[in-house]
Amino acid sequence: MKEIILTTLVVVFIASCQPKTEERYSTNGPEVDLVKSLVNDYHNQDWEGWLGHYADTAKLHHNSPEDIFLTPSETSEALKDLLATTSSYKFDDENIYYEKVIDDKGKTWVNFWGNWRGTIAASNKELVIPVHLTMNIADNKIQEEHAMYNLAEYMAEMQKIEARNNMSTEDKATQTTIDNITKAWNTNDQDLMYSNLASNVVRTANGTIIAKNQSDYGDFMDVYHSAFPDFKVSLDNVKIDGNTAQINWTCTGT
């Protein structure tokens, strides 16, 4: 009996002396809290607080290879320039993820995934851009950061806005009419539609006349909004040539 008790004590003693290995994967902890605070400062445009999460020597690689990087201050200025073109922005509350991992070299990294949602002030167009960040954290500071996000749609929208700003007065008036017609379709606002149509407007589809006046056009709008309560149109491309406009748009509805 004494031998059994002694053996048990030895096993317990040996087990208690074994070094504890650090958990290599987690979704919480001080490093994750640091990144959550970073995102919160970004939402609140607290750039002083945002910068405070980075080491003075931190290297930030945003959509760039290993040998190209910006400092935290340079990155904050670039972000402020981009956000200045928006009327609102945030990361969606849903589908946002944080995880901490320790790599084979013992470095601690925090990964972040989220959908950035912003509205361009000049066009009121909403963009949704998936964002992935991975940050090396040591001494309670971000030492290195890699970020991947596709700004192609944002850049295309900025180019459209610039092109519109450079339009002639006549072309701007035509574009305003197109915007009003798009808004009227999206809200089924027939008064707004009529104010942008000639009284004898003619609409054809595949060679068939479907409207010969404003009232016919309003009835045509009702058909779509009755069949699809959430009916929407969005402009894909507009080409204005004198008093003629070619429009490509996408219609959605359920």
- Mean pLDDT per segment of 10 residues, for the chain of length 254 residues? 52 51 84 98 97 98 95 98 97 96 96 98 94 98 98 95 91 92 95 96 93 94 94 90 91 94
Kind plus residue range of the DSSP H or E element containing 195: helix 190-195
The radius of gyration computed from the CA coordinates of the chain, to the nearest angstrom, equals 29
Residue finishing a domain among 158, 182, 214: 158
Shared domain check, 130 and 206: no
In this prediction, residue 236 carries a pLDDT of: 86
Q: Report the C-alpha gap between 52 and 61 in whole angstroms.
A: 18
**Which SS3 state, helix, strand or coil, does residue 186 take?**
helix
Cα-Cα-Cα-Cα torsion 163, 166, 171, 176, nearest 10 degrees, comes to 70
pLDDT of 10 reads 46
Report the distance separating Cα 3 and Cα 10, nearest Å: 11
Q: Last residue of some domain: 104, 126, 158?
A: 158
pLDDT of residue 7: 52
**What's the pLDDT at 98?**
98
Q: How many whole angstroms separate alpha carbon 192 and alpha carbon 194?
A: 6
Residues 150 and 186 in one domain: no
Which among 158, 186, 209 is the end of a domain? Answer: 158
pLDDT reported for residue 90 = 96
DSSP 21: P
Q: How many domains does the chain have?
A: 2
pLDDT tens figures, 64-78: 998 999 999 999 999
Query: N- to C-terminal Cα distance for the chain?
Result: 77
- 34 - beta bridge partners? none
Q: Is residue 227 part of a domain?
A: yes
Predicted confidence at residue 11, as pLDDT, reads: 45
120 and 140 share one domain: yes
The pLDDT assigned to 237 comes to 86
Which range marks the domain in which residue 30 is found? 25-158
Residue 110 placed within a domain: yes
- Output the six-digit token pair for 234: 């969005």
Length of the chain measured in residues? 254
Are 150 and 179 found together in one domain? no
pLDDT of residue 2: 52
Q: What is the CATH number of the domain that holds 41?
A: 3.10.450.50
pLDDT value for 235: 85
Residues 6+ apart with CB under 8 A from 220: 203, 210, 211
pTM of the model: 0.72
